């Protein structure tokens, strides 16, 4: 039976994450929003604390590096690293989304490694900060259309191509690059490679100026005859046309609930602050009365809060399924689609409800509204998530439903 209350063993951990969000992230939120591309040095101490918790076994899978499916256990119901990561990320993004994305060694590339790497690779890449490089100038939502190539040459692969919108692309130690072994074989030939940035042939071309998450560096990365050790390929090196690229796509089943959790945290921050503003203005929000019997502002707030609760439950359900080794591709996309769009709607409507306070930089509401947009886009846009959900529900392939 699924119980989506915060597990007792995680409650102290979630409280710690909330304190971190309050004292480190929220406290520096505006500072690094205004100082785009400046490295948040305060995060070094925080990252060391998280590493220490993980090494001691007290971290309960804190952050992206904890996201991994395990075959261990006695077959009973369990709450593991996926649930812990979702709960902690929701708290830190309640503090600040951009700073959460800037956390050393907690990147989406680390999630990819944790999801599909072998035990040997996990040990070899331990302590590495990895970003994720999928999107290309001519390839956005359709990951199967990747043109970056990886050609086997002895004990190495030679990578060539350009990747854009790489989160933490400048600050990370390595980049998990999606590339094709053979364009003629389509999506089945797409593999992911851990590419250390110390290797010749990989360079950061530029940093992007963005609408939101300004604390996070977003880079364009060029690969020019970059030679990568063959053992840095994640997953099965063989091309299986029947299987397609399910191996690399498995990463999304674990990372999409994480992005949904980011949206849950950001939206919750906006809701809590908006309620404070409304109540200080004399607007009463009564849960015992029908919304239609209350003021327009109160009715709007209740509707936003109910949408947020639905998104939260979908997110927790997807994480729970991953922890209990149940296929969750459908649920991961549902959670990402619902949470991403809900966060957009909640933050923008909260700006409206707060009036002039919501639009000015004296409040963080306007920042949360800007930050929220990326949560509906990266790790698969709203439209792509809806397409995946439709395929799963209708039992159709990508060729049958495009």
Q: Which residues contact 395 (CB under 8 A, 6 or more apart)?
A: none
Write down the residue that tokens 């951009």 correspond to: 98
Mean pLDDT per 10-residue interval, the chain, length 402 residues: 78 90 95 95 81 55 49 65 91 96 87 87 94 91 86 98 96 96 88 96 97 96 98 88 61 88 98 98 96 96 97 95 91 97 98 97 97 94 94 92 88
Measured CA to CA, the distance from residue 45 to residue 91 in angstroms comes to 18
Q: Are 174 and 126 in contact (CB under 8 A)?
A: no
CATH number attached to the domain at 8-124 = 1.10.540
pLDDT at position 76 is 66
Domains 8-124 and 246-394 agree in fold: no
pTM here is: 0.92
Catalytic residue numbers? 379
Query: What single string gives the DSSP state of each residue in 201-213?
Result: TEEEEEE---SS-
Task: Give the E-state strand segments of 208-363 in sequence order.
Answer: 218-229, 233-234
Report residue 101 CA to chain centroid gap.
Answer: 8
Q: Where exactly are the structural domains of the chain?
A: 8-124, 130-234, 246-394
Long-range contacts of residues 393-400, Cβ cutoff 8 Å, at least 24 apart: 393/330, 398/144
Q: Are 266 and 341 in contact (CB under 8 A)?
A: no
Mark out the alpha helices in 58-165 (DSSP H runs): 81-95, 97-101, 108-116, 119-124
Q: Select the CATH number that applies to the domain covering 246-394 from these four: 1.20.140.10, 1.25.40.10, 2.40.50.140, 3.40.50.2300.
A: 1.20.140.10
Q: Which of 184, 187, 178, 188 is nearest to 223 (CA)?
A: 178
Q: Are 367 and 254 in contact (CB under 8 A)?
A: no
Q: Which residues contact 59 (CB under 8 A, 6 or more apart)?
A: 13, 50, 53, 66, 84
DSSP three-state, residue 172: coil
Measured CA to CA, the distance from residue 16 to residue 323 in angstroms comes to 22
CATH number attached to the domain at 130-234 = 2.40.110.10
DSSP three-state, residue 176: strand
Angle at 156 between CA 70 and CA 163, to 5 degrees: 75
pLDDT at position 62 is 41
Burial 87-120 (b: 16+ CB within 10 A, else e): bbbbbbbbbbbbbbbbbbbbbbbbbbbbbbbeee
Q: Which residues contact 13 (CB under 8 A, 6 or more apart)?
A: 58, 59, 60, 62, 84, 87, 88
A 10 A CB-CB count for 365 gives 24
Entry field: residues in the chain: 402
pLDDT at position 66 is 47
pLDDT at position 65 is 47
Q: Which two tokens stand for residue 11?
A: 């409650």
Measured CA to CA, the distance from residue 65 to residue 106 in angstroms comes to 6
Q: Which residues contact 133 (CB under 8 A, 6 or more apart)?
A: 109, 163, 166, 169, 175, 176, 177, 178, 221
Alpha-carbon Rg for the chain, nearest whole angstrom, is 21
């Amino acid at each position: 039976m699924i119980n989506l209350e915060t597990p007792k063993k995680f409650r102290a951990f979630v409280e710690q994450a909330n304190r971190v969000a309050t004292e480190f992230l929220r406290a520096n939120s505006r500072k690094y929003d205004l100082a785009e591309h400046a490295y948040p040095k305060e995060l070094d101490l925080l990252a060391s604390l998280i590493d220490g918790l993980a090494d001691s076994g007290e971290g309960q899978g804190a952050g992206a590096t904890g996201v991994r499916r395990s075959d261990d256990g006695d077959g009973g119901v369990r709450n593991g690293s996926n649930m812990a990561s979702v709960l902690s990320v929701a708290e830190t993004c309640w503090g600040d989304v951009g700073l959460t994305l800037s956390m050393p060694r907690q990147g989406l590339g680390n999630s990819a490694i944790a999801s599909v790497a072998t035990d040997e690779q996990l040990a070899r890449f331990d302590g590495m900060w990895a970003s994720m490089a999928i999107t290309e100038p001519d390839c956005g939502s359709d990951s199967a259309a990747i043109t970056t190539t990886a050609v086997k040459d002895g004990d190495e692969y030679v990578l060539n191509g350009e990747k854009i919108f790489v989160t933490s692309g400048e600050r990370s130690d390595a980049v998990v690059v999606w590339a094709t072994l053979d364009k003629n074989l389509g999506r089945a030939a797409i593999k992911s490679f851990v590419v250390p940035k110390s290797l010749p042939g990989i360079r950061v071309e530029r940093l992007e100026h963005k609408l939101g998450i300004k604390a996070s560096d977003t880079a364009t990365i060029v690969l020019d005859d970059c030679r990568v050790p063959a053992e840095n390929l994640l997953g099965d090196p063989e091309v299986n046309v029947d299987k397609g690229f399910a191996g690399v796509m498995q990463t999304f089943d674990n990372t999409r609930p994480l992005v949904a959790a980011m949206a849950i945290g950001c939206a919750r921050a906006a809701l809590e602050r908006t309620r404070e503003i409304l109540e200080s203005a004399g607007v009463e929000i009564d849960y015992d009365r029908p919304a239609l019997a209350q003021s327009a502002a109160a009715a709007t707030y209740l509707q936003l809060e109910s949408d947020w609760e639905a998104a939260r439950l979908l997110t927790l359900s997807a994480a729970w399924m991953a922890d209990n080794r149940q296929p969750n591709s459908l649920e991961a996309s549902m959670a990402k689609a619902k949470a991403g769009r809900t966060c957009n709607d909640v933050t923008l409507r909260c700006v409206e409800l707060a009036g002039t306070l919501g639009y000015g930089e004296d409040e963080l509401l306007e920042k949360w509204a800007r930050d929220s947009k990326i949560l509906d886009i990266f790790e698969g846009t709203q439209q792509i998530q809806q397409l995946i959900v439709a395929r799963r529900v209708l039992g159709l392939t990508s060729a049958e439903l495009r």
